[in-house]
A and B are shown apart, each in its own frame.
Chain A
């Protein structure tokens, strides 16, 4: 939309819409100079998908879990927790600025492990946030205000699309380190080490704890160990984004391994957690932001400042989702149900990856599709080129983002064969 100049706007009103010319022109609009915001690329995929009448159409842009019938999945432990909560007839009084205490405690324990030295010495602070985005935003604001030694945040290349604008708006500068290797559809380990070893001291480095978004490519444990050493040598401040704990491998401890290892190695990390995917609580906005500090006293100071940051954004966080998450995490039978269900979701994703590869081979594809099963989590960087993606959409009604990313959550046993067929057609 072109910027509308004041005079042009007034004169065009009469010619384009004669009836409006009858309305007396008051002062011009305040918003004449406001540009139309760019359309969201992923939303565009979903819009086009909705308009498509092909019965075989597939939406592989969606970043939310779907069951094997392609439907949203409300976890049983969530339903049970909701019933439990309802029976208590709780009031709706404001939460503290830092959120529900029980939730914060359980959230930290989930990430750090119940035997964490950090928790025992009370040298961390966890605040409830508006899911992962809210957590990153609070973190970015905190860094901008209190990490005066360096303004640079290093993101893996590529990273979640929203990381950049969040940190930029908070006043940080964005840089990148090599991460994804398009040649192998895998981890560019040497490139990452090389880049990281040159990052200026005190800079912030963002790491995806597991199930890297958008590539699905995670470092192996031995690789994490080397990364930790280099990062320590460079004296970088580590910011973990963990949006898929439990959802990646099906094992919450395994998925949190990198975070716990880094902490053991002495990194006092920042950590964002989301319960959108692993508890299916997307719209309830459940998340946490943690700062691991030098000691309990510092944690108290940091906590006080986080509250000062949060209050002018939204005062205090929403109760519903945090209460559900907290109930699940702290009620033994609900917790074990949850662990089974999150494993169930992870297993289904893993199975779909395997079936996709099997079906591609059955189709006769001679390409190496190992990365599909090597990668982990909701997303898969297929390696497909933009032209191939376009053909997939136009000829087969398979919708995905131009970078070749698919959401494996959108794949079912019912449509995996069709998907394999389509991919083979555009890549053979």
Chain B
């Protein structure tokens, strides 16, 4: 009689199951438009040239060892990463009211932020404090916050399927109706999964409402630089909120913009009202880190820190990032062009209006099933495609298949 006899088989995480299915597919023309990782035009993973360079520097430096990092992480990583998000001349950084925790990827940063908020945000028990996530949002947001103890996770209107764009009125309306002090998870740029971002003017409206209602801004920034190719442009929303006086959290991921997916490089940037509050917040986050993973992994953080803190390497990195962003933009432009040329029904402007790795095509579940089963083109049930999966070699096949799906499958 096993104690685990009653443990049920859990459903696999969808995005990884999709990749697994893709791997097993024998069809030579198969295309993987599922998981969010960058691919070159040869459909290969791309280790950034600057990363290879810095890796070698680290390997050749025999003065380095594998000792424990401090609980909060590598100091030069934390500060340079926060600077990337908030800007070199950030007044908040000058005021000594910005701190950070090195975390295991963007997920880890969300986790530590969530655990802290549940314990300390508005009183010492925030299990009932509402968390708002966009409809739709990255599928792991829900689990991160519910596992941290939050019992009330609600959607805010975001994606307008009809017009294939942002439902700003709905968004603002949900914010107006949110209980005061609710926590709002915002995608800093390149919204996952829709690729639809508010304009600067729309961000201002969002910030206004959030300020009035005392709503907490928790930014998820997984694509800085990767979205437009410009670091500052992609961080505009975060910096605007800081300039408006918000205390906020920003979960940063360096998985995509450094291509360091499996090294788990993330940073939770904390902007507080002043240094005193900041220090107390960090001291409590330290306790949470200690009982979660003790201290973070050193390799990836070292690599990012060296890159960000060395002018020539920093310039090279920005260049590498632009390379990736530009290829995505090219694929967007070409896909739209081809769909228009095919006369595929519907409007396809959203493909170039959307930004970042992902595009919400608008394909419905049946059409998605057709794409997978009949065309061996793998995409998420939501209709989300990873633009990085498109190449000059497969884009015609994908465009034709989308055309077929839209015209023959209802």
Contact = CB atoms under 8 A, between A and B. Distances in A.
A202 interface: yes
A315 B66 CA distance: 23
B29 to A, nearest CB: 22
Interface residues of A, number: 75
Interface string B244-280: 0101000000010001111110000000111001111
A28, A237, A304 interface centre (most CB from chain B within 10 Å): A304
A353 interface: no
Contacts of B51: 92
B277 A31 contact: yes
Contacts, number: 228
Contacts of B247: 29-31
Contacts of B344: none
A117 to B, nearest CB: 16
A314 B2 contact: no
Interface string B1-40: 0111111111111001000000000000000000101000
A137 interface: yes
A362 interface: no
A222 to B, nearest CB: 28
Contacts of B284: 34-35, 37
B272 A31 contact: yes
A93 to B, nearest CB: 5
A282 B121 contact: no
Interface string A301-337: 1101101110111111111110000000000000000
B68 A283 contact: yes
Contacts of B121: 30
Contacts of B10: 301, 304-305, 307-308
Nearest to B299: A320
Contact of B105 (A28, A93, A314): A314
Contacts of A293: 2, 4
B107 A78 contact: no
B65 A92 contact: no
B401 interface: no
A314 B68 contact: no
A130 B272 contact: no
B55 interface: yes
B287 to A, nearest CB: 5
Interface stretch (B198-206, B289-297, B347-355, B388-396): B289-297
Interface of B: 2-13, 16, 35, 37, 44-45, 47, 51-52, 55-56, 59, 65-69, 103-105, 107-108, 111, 120-124, 140, 143-144, 146-147, 214, 216, 245, 247, 255, 259-264, 272-274, 277-281, 283-284, 286-287, 290-300
Interface of A: 1, 20, 26-37, 64, 72, 74, 78, 82-83, 86, 89, 91-97, 130-134, 137, 146-147, 149, 162, 165-166, 169, 202, 237, 268, 276, 280-285, 291, 293-294, 298, 300-302, 304-305, 307-309, 311-321
